[in-house]
Chain A
């Protein structure tokens, strides 16, 4: 007779480790998201300052809008880190016509271009967050 047995205790422990995100990864992810949000905010402001002409129905200048971008505190819920970069205050009313254009002015898309410009850096940040959190 041949007897053999297979113990699963070690495998269960290993699987439990992999299905539960290590806390350090979540903490690192929050930092990575915050760094990207700050970069997108700054890039969006630069993009607005680079628009050369008066825009808006009354020809308003855009410099105040370039300083109006910000983001709320990064939230971490259900293993996801999130924030949003948007224009705040009185200048916020201008962001729609600037971002998407109007029938009388072409779209400039400062926010979308800022997000695109920082996408590669964001991916690198997340890779590093996971690498540092699991090493």
Chain B
């Protein structure tokens, strides 16, 4: 049985946007880059990439997928590394250990599983710096 991921991802996005400072700055999926658009996005903003999860049957004898693990990569973008770090902390305050409430699912608290050094992209104008944090959402059918 398929476990729809959209309500789970929507719940995480809603949790981020519940912070008024983040409300209009959260984008799901890659944002257009300045080389290919006349309207580049000026920092700061937050980008959320999500995979479509991995399904698991938690019992050897089971024929039903009951668990899914979704990895969300949250990138905070700033004009400077310090600004990127500030927005990364803001997003982490909303997500770390947060337990989403989604109809039809029992969710575990979000786990922060990985991060990377803050990167700089100088090929575009404006130059941006971005942090990268991975959070894993584990959900089971209720």
Pick out which of these stretches binds chain A: B15-23, B25-33, B60-68.
B25-33
Contact indicator per residue, chain B 64-106, by CB within 8 Å of chain A (1) or not (0)? 0000000001010100000000000000000000000000000
Contact B121 A57 (CB under 8 A): yes
What size tier do the contact residues of chain A reach? 10 to 19
Rounded to whole angstroms, the CA-CA distance of A120 and B104 in the bound complex is 32
By secondary structure, the B interface counts as: strand
Q: Does A103 contact B (CB under 8 A)?
A: yes
Rounded to whole angstroms, the CA-CA distance of A97 and B128 in the bound complex is 13
Q: How many A-B residue pairs have CB under 8 A?
A: 49
Contact B121 A102 (CB under 8 A): yes
Assuming the contacts A106-B30, A107-B49, asked whether A101 and B119 have C-beta atoms less than 8 A apart, the reply is no
Chain B residue contacts of A27, Cβ below 8 A? none
Q: Does A104 contact B (CB under 8 A)?
A: yes
Please tell me which one of the listed residues A99, A101, A112 contacts residue B75 in the complex, with CB atoms under 8 A apart: A101
Chain B residue contacts of A73, Cβ below 8 A? none
- Residues in chain A within 8 A of chain B (CB atoms): 57-58, 96-97, 99-107, 112
